[in-house]
Amino acid sequence: MSDIKHRRIQTNGIWMHIAEKGEGHDLVLLIHGFPELWSSWNYQVNSLAEHGYHVVAPDMRGYGDSDCPKDAASYTALHLVGDLVGLLDVLGEKQAFVVGHDWGAQVAWYLCLLRPDRVKALVNLGLPYLPRSPKIKPFASMKAKFGEGFYISQFQEPGRAEESFSKYDSLTILKKFLLINAPDLLSTPPGIEIIDFLETPSTLPHWITQEELEFCAEKFQKSGFTGALNYYRAMDMNWELLGAWQGARITVPTKYIVGDKDVGFQSFGTKDYIKGEAFRSLVPDLQVVVVVDGHHYIQLERAEQITKEIISFFSKK
Residues with catalytic function: 102, 232, 296
Q: Which of 204, 132, 152 is nearest to 175 (CA)?
A: 204
Integer CA distances (angstroms), 275 to 20, 103, 128, 297, in order: 36, 22, 11, 21
Count of beta carbons in the 10 Å neighbourhood of residue 209? 11
Q: Please, are residues 79 and 3 in contact by the beta-carbon 8 Å criterion?
A: no
**Is 111 in contact with 78 (CB distance < 8 Å)?**
no
Interatomic CA distance for residues 294 and 152, integer angstroms: 23
DSSP character for 302? Answer: T
Distance CA 79, CA 87 (A): 12
Contact 102, 33 (CB under 8 A): yes
Residue 288 near residue 274, CB atoms below 8 Å: yes
- What angle (nearest 5°) sits at the alpha carbon of residue 87, between those of residues 81 and 89? 105
